[in-house]
C-alpha cells in the first residue's frame, strides 16, 4: 500500500496542476525551481515526501528542453528523498512524434525520453494521446495512456448537428486516429493523399481519397504545431467542395506563426484540450475552444492511488 497522494507541479503548466488539485481536494505539494544566471536550475521539494504517492505534473511545452531537464531533476530529487512511488504525469509527451527511424542515423527520441525518465527514477507514467499507440511499448514501467476522444466527441455532439459532417485525416500515414472518431461519431471519412515528387522533399496534397462535397469537413489530428499541415488540409478540402471546415486536435502546441495562420485560414473552429497551456495570443483567438482534461487526470490519479481499475472507466 502506497502512502498519501502528493501532487507536484513543475513550471510547465501550473494551471493544469491547480485544476487537478482542485478536483482532488488537495493542496499542491510545495516545491521550488530556481534558475540561476548560468541557466542551471535547482529543484527542491519543500515538504516531506517519504513513502508518499507522488504525481509530478509536467507536460512538454516551451521552453521544451528546460521542461524535460526540470522534470528529470524533480524525479531524481524525489527518489533520493525516499518518495514511495513517483508517477510522471506528462499529458503531452515530449518528442512523441519522434517515434520511428524514418531517416538514417537519427534518434528515436520518444524512446530516449522514456529511458531518461526511467533512469531518473520514475515508477510510472501517465500520459494522453500518444502520437502512435506503440509508444506505450517504449516503457518498461507501467504506463497509462488516456484518450481525449470521449471528451472531444461529447463536446462536438453537444454543440452541433453532425449529420452532414465528414471526418478528414490530413495524411494517409496518420489516419489511424480518424478511425476512432469515426466509430464514436458514426461519420464517414476522407483522407488527404500527400505525395513527394522528384527531388522536392516536401509532401504536397495531391488527391483526396473519399468525398467531402457539400459536407462540413472536420479535420482531426493528435497535435497541431506550426499549423501548416492543418491549414493546407483545410484549404484542400474546400477546393474539393467542402462547405466549411472545422478541426479537432488534442495537443495545442501552436508554435511559431500558428495562431496567425489559423486566423487567416478558413477553419471556423479549432477544438483543443489543455494538455498544454495556451499562449496569451492563443487564449485571445476566438476560433479556439479549449476543453479541460483536468477532471479526467484527477479521476485517473485517484484510481491509481486507490488501486482501482483505470481501464474500466476510460479505455472502453
Q: C-alpha distances in angstroms, 141 versus 4, 88, 176, 286?
A: 21, 11, 25, 40
Q: What is the largest CA-CA distance in the chain?
A: 61
The SS3 call for residue 229 is helix
Query: Does 259 sit near its own copies (CB under 8 A)?
Result: no
CB of 23 to its own copies, least distance (A): 20
Q: 307: which residues sit within 8 A by CB, 6+ positions away?
A: none
Virtual CA dihedral for 54, 60, 65, 67, nearest 10 degrees? -40
With CB under 8 A, what is the number of residues at the site for its own copies? 104
CB of 111 to its own copies, least distance (A): 4
Query: Does 286 sit near its own copies (CB under 8 A)?
Result: no
The answer to whether 10 and 72 have CB atoms below 8 angstroms apart is no
Query: Does 137 sit near its own copies (CB under 8 A)?
Result: yes
CB of 294 to its own copies, least distance (A): 22
- Interaction mask 67-86, its own copies, x per CB under 8 A: -xx--xxx-xxxxxxx-x--
Residue with smaller CB distance to its own copies, 82 or 159 = 82
Residues in 182-211 at the binding interface with its own copies, rule: CB under 8 A: 182-183, 188-191, 193, 195-196, 207, 209-210
Query: Does 309 sit near its own copies (CB under 8 A)?
Result: yes
CB of 228 to its own copies, least distance (A): 9
Binds its own copies by CB under 8 A, chosen from 20, 59, 99, 273: 99
Query: Does 65 sit near its own copies (CB under 8 A)?
Result: yes
Residue with smaller CB distance to its own copies, 22 or 73 = 73
Q: 296: which residues sit within 8 A by CB, 6+ positions away?
A: 146, 148, 151, 314
**CA 194, 195, 199, 201 torsion-angle sign:** positive
The distance of Cα 67 from the centroid of its chain, to the nearest Å, equals 15
- What cell numbers appear for 254 in the block? 501552436
Query: Does 98 sit near its own copies (CB under 8 A)?
Result: yes
Query: Does 142 sit near its own copies (CB under 8 A)?
Result: yes
Binds its own copies by CB under 8 A, chosen from 133, 214, 241, 295: 133
Query: Does 159 sit near its own copies (CB under 8 A)?
Result: no
- What cell numbers appear for 220 in the block? 482531426
Query: Does 173 sit near its own copies (CB under 8 A)?
Result: yes
CB of 44 to its own copies, least distance (A): 5
Binds its own copies by CB under 8 A, chosen from 109, 269, 290, 292: 109
The closest alpha carbon to 253, from 291, 219, 225, belongs to 225
Distance of alpha carbon 120 from alpha carbon 51, whole angstroms:
17
Amino acid at each position: 500500500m502506497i502512502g498519501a497522494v502528493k501532487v507536484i507541479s513543475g513550471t510547465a503548466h501550473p494551471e493544469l496542476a491547480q485544476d487537478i488539485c482542485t478536483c482532488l481536494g488537495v493542496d499542491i505539494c510545495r516545491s521550488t525551481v530556481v534558475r540561476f544566471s548560468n541557466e542551471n536550475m535547482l529543484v527542491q521539494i519543500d515538504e516531506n515526501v517519504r513513502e508518499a504517492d507522488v504525481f509530478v505534473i509536467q507536460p512538454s511545452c516551451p521552453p521544451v528542453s528546460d521542461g524535460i531537464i526540470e522534470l528529470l531533476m524533480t524525479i531524481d530529487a524525489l527518489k533520493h528523498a525516499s518518495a514511495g512511488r513517483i508517477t510522471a504525469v506528462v499529458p503531452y509527451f515530449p518528442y512523441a512524434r519522434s517515434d520511428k527511424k524514418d531517416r538514417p542515423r537519427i534518434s528515436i527520441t520518444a524512446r530516449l525520453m522514456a529511458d531518461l525518465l526511467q533512469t531518473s527514477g520514475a515508477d510510472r507514467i501517465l500520459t494522453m494521446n500518444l502520437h502512435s499507440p506503440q509508444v506505450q511499448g517504449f516503457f518498461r514501467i507501467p504506463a497509462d495512456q488516456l484518450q481525449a476522444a470521449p471528451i472531444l466527441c461529447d463536446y462536438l455532439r453537444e454543440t452541433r448537428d453532425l449529420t452532414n459532417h465528414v471526418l478528414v485525416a490530413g495524411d494517409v500515414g496518420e489516419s489511424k486516429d480518424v478511425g476512432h472518431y469515426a466509430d464514436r461519431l458514426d461519420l464517414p471519412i476522407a483522407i488527404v493523399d500527400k505525395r513527394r515528387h522528384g527531388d522536392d522533399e516536401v509532401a504536397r496534397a495531391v488527391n483526396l481519397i473519399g468525398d467531402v462535397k457539400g459536407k462540413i469537413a472536420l479535420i482531426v489530428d493528435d497535435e497541431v504545431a506550426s499549423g501548416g499541415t492543418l491549414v493546407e488540409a483545410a484549404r484542400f478540402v474546400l477546393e474539393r467542395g467542402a462547405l466549411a471546415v472545422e478541426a479537432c486536435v488534442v495537443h495545442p502546441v501552436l508554435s511559431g506563426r500558428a495562431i496567425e495562420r489559423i486566423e487567416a485560414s478558413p477553419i471556423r473552429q479549432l477544438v483543443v484540450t489543455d494538455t498544454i497551456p495556451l499562449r496569451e495570443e492563443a487564449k485571445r483567438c476566438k476560433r479556439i475552444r479549449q476543453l479541460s482534461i483536468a477532471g479526467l487526470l484527477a479521476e485517473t490519479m485517484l484510481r491509481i492511488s486507490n488501486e482501482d481499475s483505470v481501464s474500466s472507466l476510460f479505455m472502453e
